[in-house]
Chain A
């Protein structure tokens, strides 16, 4: 009882159940993956050596990186426009735009993938419409390629980019831009010299968030890529469940984990990570 009288200790008791649960049911399974990567099929770093030696693994990692960077860039540019407009329009329009963003953020990723199936396939709605209008006579290859993967991924990432950008822009004092204009700066100058630099922390936060999510994304690339654009998450799943090469699969998972954590560690020196993830 005397120990409990120490107030700080009591607060740790509030934390304890969650911490314990996370340790046993989250961090232990994660550490099990790390363990597998250095013990299967035999102890040592042989799995990492074969990762380094395999050209196809490198090609797959390169595909993953390329798609992640591309979808980050596209999402960021489009999101910037949206966030900018949301932060400048009147209250009623702002609410409407915001609603569109928030709802699409929370709509099931499978529902969206299904919608892209309905739209993009050979006999999908887009091809049906184009053929019906007589614009084309054979269906365009919209599905099962990098284009489809990007369409699906950017769609998923956009709300994740818009929200941190918007929260950054909201906190900018609008009088700064007005003052610059008043002092004779052109529209473009005011934007690039005053507004844009002030939004950079938001841009940075959004890029990191989208990039990290794109790297390990499974559902959309697996469905819309049709097995042709295999990204790392799908590759891991195939290694574990189908090829039954657990060593290689867990080594790749370890690599992904280290890459994400190192990226975040570097980023955390520049921005507050809680803000990055809190905004989403």
Chain B
């Protein structure tokens, strides 16, 4: 009797377990169908409830999808909760959040000028290099208030349907030789460097920048200039034939070359290599979790996805070994490309950017 009841009990437990197993599978299946599979996976679910949401803000457009696929999906599959917001982390917006103690962003896709403008105002967190791995950053690009995430270049692109052969950077300022409108960014950053390089300054002698000389170069063709503010805008202006040549980001130039099947071409020659930097606004809601997300995004394999999709060069030195042969030509930080470019000096920008940007706006872009 007793034994039987034990056996019965045992059988009952077995039945219950297998029944639970089935129902768990069923739940998992429906979760998969709803596209939330990573969250439903065992331990991940427990963590997702306790780990805070990390909001990463970038500049919108295609980069939202690509960041999602390259960075957020793997991080979330490992139990994190990273969301991508494409609304554009303008410096003024970051500062407003920090000063009103209402920070809703954790990680911002920024540049050296963000550190230059917001660092002195105390609006940025120190990067926690206990969590973020300095060895996964190319030497010299791990700053106190920001850490490189990818490399991009500012380069010259031109419309081959309107210009025969490859123009030299000096031709950018020669309206007689090549008539037509030129496009530059509505920002002094990189534009000053490209003007000086075109004017014959050697990359090694670039800094400290001769601001006056660079502004004078642009003033000489001011009537023929058109300005872009967002990467997508620069793409649209060249694509639609509003200008014959332009200074823009290599990532956008590369996309243009692909989509116009070579009608728009570009060169890294006399370009400027710059770091894309993660910064963390002071008092960010997710706290240290933001640095865990940054650490996760240091994966070389994930950074290669950005290179494939958008042309951003990997920041992790291990990444350069992983770059497929076919992508080397478009990689801004590929040795062959860095050899013909200058490198931005973050230190110069920390000291000078705010004043120089204002002067650029006053004299060139207003």
Query: Which A residues have a C-beta under 8 Å from some C-beta of B?
Result: 54, 56-57, 59-60, 121-123, 141, 143-144, 226-228, 230, 235, 238, 240-246
Contacts and interface: CB of A to CB of B under 8 A. Distances in A.
Question: Which 10 pairs across A and B sit closest by C-beta, in order of nearness?
Answer: A56-B362, A241-B92, A227-B227, A230-B366, A241-B90, A244-B91, A240-B92, A244-B92, A244-B117, A227-B186
A54 B359 CA distance: 10
A182 B187 CA distance: 67
Given A121-B242, A243-B357, A56 B91 contact: no
B340 interface: no
Interface in B188-234: 225-227, 229
Given A56-B363, A122-B241, A123-B241, A228 B225 contact: yes
Nearest to B187: A242
A56 B226 contact: no
A192 to B, nearest CB: 42
A244 B362 contact: no
Nearest to B227: A227
Contacts of B358: 243, 245
Nearest to A141: B181
B241 A226 contact: no
Nearest to B366: A230
B48 interface: no
Contacts, number: 61
B118 interface: yes
Q: For the complex, would chain A's binding face be called helix, strand, loop or mixed by DSSP majority? A: loop
Contacts of A243: 117, 354, 357-358, 361
A227 B229 contact: yes
28 contacts: A56-B361, A56-B362, A56-B363, A56-B366, A122-B240, A122-B241, A122-B242, A143-B242, A226-B226, A227-B227, A227-B229, A228-B365, A235-B366, A238-B361, A240-B92, A241-B91, A241-B92, A241-B93, A243-B354, A243-B357, A243-B361, A244-B92, A244-B95, A244-B117, A244-B118, A244-B121, A244-B354, A246-B95
B149 to A, nearest CB: 21
B90 A242 contact: yes
B52 to A, nearest CB: 27
A101 to B, nearest CB: 33
Interface string B343-366: 000000000001001100111011
B92 A121 contact: no
Given A54-B362, A56-B366, A122-B242, 14 more contacts: A122-B241, A123-B241, A141-B181, A144-B226, A227-B227, A227-B229, A228-B225, A235-B366, A242-B90, A242-B91, A243-B358, A243-B361, A244-B95, A246-B95
Nearest to B93: A241
Contacts of B95: 244, 246
Contacts of B362: 54, 56-57
Contacts of A123: 240-241
Q: Among B186, B354, B362, find the residue whose CB has the most chain A CB atoms closer than 10 A.
A: B362
Interface in B100-143: 117-118, 121
Contacts of A56: 361-363, 366
A210 to B, nearest CB: 24
B240 A242 contact: no
Contacts of B226: 144, 226-228
Contacts of A244: 91-92, 95, 117-118, 121, 354
Contacts of A54: 362
A63 to B, nearest CB: 8
A54 B362 CA distance: 9
Interface in B44-102: 90-93, 95
Contact of B227 (A121, A141, A143, A226): A226
Nearest to B179: A138
